[in-house]
């Protein structure tokens, strides 16, 4: 009898059924999950499912599929449950990550955008930023270079600081402070963007730039599933610089009546840009295995990416390994999870100076002479860039390891406590050598460098969450969360360089062989910072009609000054579910209508390095004592006990709507974002200070904007579907204060636009009343008959001076937009995505440097009318500031999914072709209107450098398989 009772107690109940769409057709791959667990399965090729559950009466099954509303069914002892899913562009029951928890879309009171896998950008992608680019209103992701290892600039609702704006705070699977490169795009399930301060304040002093939450895929289901996704891609330069060809150079020599014989003695016709670039081949392979049962789930994945840059010395090879396991016990009250990840990256970094050489080297010079030896020249900014690429190396090796363990326990129904422990180590090794025979290394007779950096992170978080429903019909819902966080970050680095090598054979592997060691060639450093936090959130809702959320976080950071070690970051938001009101029940064309209002305070400490609040000594020359030369030290940094975080407050008002039975849905939002106590290094008098510069919190800045996002389910039939989505964002930035009674800097000139033969000039200004990214220089009205600039005399004094410089453009756009269209016809699918910006200006520094006759015919130039017209050294002015508004066909993909019903070993098979950066519509004359925004720590953006790495046009062919 005891045996029979034990058997009955642990027996599991099996439910079977079929999942259908609105046309009565079976849905392949629909998800069926036991609510509150990861126990689940998917429908087979006939739309059937089988699932073992733990409770035959109370278990609730959730049925979901992309493009359809999630449906819940209580088992109530039934062995068979068939369901029909209703189509919906927006699933109001969709669970969205919000930071230390989740909420359904209907319950969210803050501004949260959620992008799921089916909406990600297709093609060659490296990380979450590539998947998100252009998809979220107000989120600007800028990749201003073709470098395969380059880091994007990310800004959410404008730039919030003038000091090292790092963009949104990254959280991966609940672990704060993550690195996007550690997660393969194929492992990402969804990405949430916390846009307003009421949503982001739960992360306190690090969330002023917003928060991006990355949720990775988890295993589920009683069936083991093996998946493979791979592609091969080919890339070329999207737009080459139009330099003079050999024939055009000779024609220029003839027209200008010069003698080019000293240069044109090799009979060569060389396209130097072609010589340093290539057709780049890349490939990616991702394999995963997942599964589980009613008590556990697991997923393991391996991704290999090999990506060549179009520049011959630029490449990246990356290995990602990730595993996740979760076990439940004690009647599902205890849950233990383990996650581990390893990312290994090898990267060949390009030398930007090779572009300068390729632009300057004459097309009548050969790469190699007739005897096979390298051609070279020692003319200024010239040299053989091909030999540079072949002989010089700049190699990075990155290793990123982390382990994460979490334990949660349900003390009573609705009350969960959780402990999360995390440890990571990130190491970077750089090995660099400039060969003595090359242009880069000849002056040093060979130059070598080795560098090693290590970042260690330890994290412990303890949280408790209580949720309950009460009232006669459980119309009242309450969810309360509280937590504690302890974090330590350590950083060390060592760097050694040497020069003057007898041989180039050993490169950077034998630094001691160099004969030119100098005092500053050897350096090392270490720093550490800690963060301790207490945080909490409470959410209340009544009939999903009235909802309110309040959060509070208190951070204590070792970075802050003695008088401001702790900061408090509160927020509150409320939502009114208008469509849930009784007076809306007869309005059938309104499916959902919700008004949201939120206000919160967040902080930024990224611009503050450790120990900036302390008085520090540093080396300063040498002195002679006791028959020896010794290193001298002096105060190199003033103490500032009042140093603290930057503070950003934001008011957000939003309207969410779903109309016409889900055929049209969208969001309209307005925000007012105010930043105060911005960090900047100010000049101070000596005395009373011992050092002439000092970091202080002084400046203020504001961003105001309007965002619009909507999706239209334009056509939905049995065989053909078309969905179109558009997002647009307007943002206005303004610096409102830079000075106070102690620290004064009403106007700060920054940036540079240096060219050969010209004087150095700043390009931008930081000034009260003007936006970040404000170009500042002379206003040019054109060229006169003698080929000289006509500069506008702003002061009316009859001569052009520094006082005549004025405001000549703004780098940041007024409006950004993204437009996506997806189509499906039977087994075919297609997506077309365009994105762009309006109102942004770019300094065409490349034209300024190379569209001039000053060094023709001894150096090459752009094939530009200016080489005949300009008769003076180029000067920075509005002449080279151009409107860079653009619309880019960023992504186009076509795929076909095979019918695998007759194959019992293959669940799904899809092949696809993707094209990226097909064309750009713009009036900008340079190589690309989208340029780097990180110059001068982001305070002098919008410049197409003379070393600009052109972007690529990429075509890829791939296959996705599930077994």
Phi and psi for 336 in degrees, rounded to 5?
A: -120, 125
**CA 318 from centroid of its chain's CA atoms:** 18
Q: What is the structure's pLDDT at 886?
A: 97
Q: What is the structure's pLDDT at 18?
A: 93
Q: What is the structure's pLDDT at 512?
A: 94
Residue corresponding to tokens 């460098």:
449
- CA angle 535/537/543 to nearest 5° reads 175
Residue corresponding to tokens 């030999």:
387
* pTM for the model: 0.90
Is the CB of residue 295 less than 8 Å from the CB of residue 219?
no
SS3 category, 626: coil
Q: What is the structure's pLDDT at 832?
A: 96
SS3 category, 220: coil
Phi and psi for 509 in degrees, rounded to 5?
A: -90, 5
Write down how long the chain is: 963
Is the CB of residue 948 less than 8 Å from the CB of residue 931?
yes
Q: What is the structure's pLDDT at 4?
A: 37
Q: What is the structure's pLDDT at 83?
A: 92
- Taken in order 913, 919, 921, 927, is the CA torsion positive or negative? positive
CA atoms within 13 A on the CB side of 449: 20
Q: What is the structure's pLDDT at 202?
A: 95
Phi and psi for 385 in degrees, rounded to 5?
A: -70, -25
Is the CB of residue 595 less than 8 Å from the CB of residue 571?
no
Q: What is the structure's pLDDT at 811?
A: 96
Tokens (6 digits) for 670? 């307005």
Residues of the chain with pLDDT under 50: 1-11
Which helix (DSSP H) or strand (DSSP E) does residue 348 occupy?
strand 334-348
Cα 692 to Cα 620: distance, rounded to the nearest angstrom: 14
Helices first, then strands: H and E counts in the chain = 9, 49
Residue corresponding to tokens 């700049």:
394
In 178-331, which residue ranges form alpha helices assigned H by DSSP?
A: 197-200, 246-255, 272-276
- Distant-in-sequence contacts of 712-718, Cβ < 8 A, 24+ apart: 712/89, 712/663, 712/664, 713/87, 713/89, 713/662, 713/663, 713/664, 714/663, 716/87, 716/663, 718/23, 718/25
Q: What is the structure's pLDDT at 542?
A: 94
Is the CB of residue 11 less than 8 Å from the CB of residue 5?
no
- Distant-in-sequence contacts of 745-754, Cβ < 8 A, 24+ apart: 745/680, 745/682, 745/683, 745/698, 748/680, 749/776, 750/936, 750/939, 750/940, 751/935, 751/936, 751/939, 751/940, 751/943, 752/940, 753/843, 753/845, 753/848, 753/876, 753/943
């Amino acid at each position: 009898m005891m045996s029979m009772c034990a058997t009955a107690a642990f027996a599991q109940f099996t439910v079977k059924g079929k999942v259908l769409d609105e046309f009565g057709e079976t849905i392949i791959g629909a998800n069926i999950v036991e609510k509150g667990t990861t126990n689940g399965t998917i429908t087979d090729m006939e739309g059937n499912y089988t699932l073992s559950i733990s409770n035959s009466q109370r278990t609730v099954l959730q049925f979901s599929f992309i493009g359809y509303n999630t449906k819940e069914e209580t088992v109530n002892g039934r062995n068979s449950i068939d369901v029909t899913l209703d189509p919906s562009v927006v699933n109001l029951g969709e669970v969205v990550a919000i930071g230390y928890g989740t909420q359904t879309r209907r319950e969210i009171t803050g501004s949260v955008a959620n992008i799921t896998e089916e909406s990600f950008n297709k093609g060659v992608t490296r990380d979450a930023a590539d998947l998100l680019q252009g998809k979220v209103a107000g989120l600007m992701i800028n990749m201003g270079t073709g470098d395969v290892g380059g880091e994007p600039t990310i800004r959410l609702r404008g730039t919030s600081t003038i000091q090292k704006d790092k963009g949104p705070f990254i959280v991966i699977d609940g672990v704060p402070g993550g690195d996007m490169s550690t997660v393969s795009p194929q492992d990402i399930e969804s990405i949430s963007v916390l846009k307003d301060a009421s949503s982001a304040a739960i992360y306190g002093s690090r969330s002023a730039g917003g928060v991006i939450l990355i949720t990775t895929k988890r295993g589920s289901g009683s069936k083991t599933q093996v998946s493979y996704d791979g592609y091969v891609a080919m890339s070329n330069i999207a737009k080459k610089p139009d330099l003079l060809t050999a024939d055009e150079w000779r024609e220029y020599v003839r027209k200008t009546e010069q003698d080019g014989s000293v240069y044109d003695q090799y009979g060569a016709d060389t396209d130097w840009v072609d010589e340093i670039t290539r057709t780049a081949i890349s490939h990616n392979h991702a394999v995963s295995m997942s599964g589980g049962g009613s008590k556990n789930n697991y997923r393991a994945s391996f991704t290999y990416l090999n990506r060549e840059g179009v520049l011959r010395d630029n490449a990246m090879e990356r290995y990602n390994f990730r595993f996740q396991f979760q076990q439940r016990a004690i009647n599902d009250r205890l849950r233990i999870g383990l996650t581990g990840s390893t990312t290994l990256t090898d990267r060949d970094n390009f030398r930007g100076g090779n572009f300068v050489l390729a632009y300057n080297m004459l097309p009548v010079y050969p790469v190699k002479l007739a005897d096979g030896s390298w051609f070279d020249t020692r003319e200024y900014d010239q040299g053989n860039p091909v030999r540079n690429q072949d002989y010089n190396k700049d190699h990075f090796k990155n290793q990123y390891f982390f382990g994460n363990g979490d334990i949660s326990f349900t003390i009573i129904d609705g009350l969960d406590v959780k402990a999360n422990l995390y440890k990571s180590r990130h190491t970077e090794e750089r090995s660099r050598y400039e060969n003595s025979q090359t242009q880069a290394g000849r002056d040093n007779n060979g130059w070598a460098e080795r560098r090693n950096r290590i970042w260690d992170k330890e994290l412990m978080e303890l949280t408790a969450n209580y949720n309950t429903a009460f009232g006669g019909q459980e119309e009242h819902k309450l969810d309360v969360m509280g937590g504690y966080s302890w974090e330590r970050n350590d950083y060390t680095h060592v760097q050694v360089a040497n020069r003057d090598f007898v041989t180039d054979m050993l490169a950077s592997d034998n630094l001691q062989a160099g004969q030119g060691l100098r005092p500053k060639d050897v350096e090392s450093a270490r720093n550490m910072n800690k963060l301790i936090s207490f945080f909490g959130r409470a959410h209340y809702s009544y009939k999903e009609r009235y909802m309110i959320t309040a959060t509070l976080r208190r951070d204590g950071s070792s970075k802050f000054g003695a008088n401001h070690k702790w900061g408090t970051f509160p927020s509150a938001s409320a939502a009114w579910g208008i469509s849930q009101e009784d007076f809306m029940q007869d309005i059938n064309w309104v499916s959902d209508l919700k008004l949201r209002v939120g206000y919160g305070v967040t902080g930024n400490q990224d611009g503050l390095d450790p120990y900036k609040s302390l008085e520090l000594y540093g080396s300063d020359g040498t002195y002679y004592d006791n028959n020896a030369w010794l290193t001298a030290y002096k105060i190199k940094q003033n103490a500032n006990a009042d140093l603290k975080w930057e503070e950003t407050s934001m008011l957000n008002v939003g309207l969410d709507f779903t109309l016409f039975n889900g055929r049209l849905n969208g969001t309209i939002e307005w925000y007012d974002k105010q930043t105060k106590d911005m960090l900047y290094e100010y000049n101070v008098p000596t005395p009373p200070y011992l050092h002439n510069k000092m970091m202080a919190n002084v400046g203020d800045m504001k961003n105001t904007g309007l965002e619009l996002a909507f999706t239209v389910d334009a056509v939905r039939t049995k065989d053909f579907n078309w969905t179109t989505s558009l997002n647009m964002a307007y943002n206005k930035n303004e610096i409102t204060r830079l000075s106070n009674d102690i620290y004064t800097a009403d106007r700060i000139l920054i940036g540079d636009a240096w060219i050969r033969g010209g004087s150095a000039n700043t390009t931008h200004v930081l000034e009260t009343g003007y936006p970040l990214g404000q170009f500042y220089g002379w206003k040019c009205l054109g060229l006169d008959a003698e080929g000289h600039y006509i500069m506008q005399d702003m002061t009316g004094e009859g001569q052009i001076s520094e006082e005549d410089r004025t405001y000549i453009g703004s780098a940041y756009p007024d409006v950004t937009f993204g437009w996506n269209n997806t189509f499906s016809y039977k087994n075919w699918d297609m997506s077309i995505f365009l994105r762009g910006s309006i109102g942004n200006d770019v300094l065409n520094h490349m034209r300024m440097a190379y569209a001039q006759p000053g060094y023709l015919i001894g150096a090459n130039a752009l094939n530009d009318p200016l080489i005949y017209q300009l008769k003076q050294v180029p000067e920075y002015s509005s002449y080279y500031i151009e409107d860079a508004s653009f619309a880019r066909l960023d992504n186009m993909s076509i795929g076909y999914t095979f019918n695998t019903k007759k194959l019992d070993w293959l669940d799904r098979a899809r092949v696809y072709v993707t094209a990226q950066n097909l064309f750009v519509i713009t009036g900008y004359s340079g190589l690309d209107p989208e340029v780097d925004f990180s110059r001068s720590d982001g305070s002098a953006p919008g410049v197409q450098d003379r070393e600009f790495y052109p972007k690529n046009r990429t075509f890829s062919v791939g296959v996705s398989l599930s077994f």
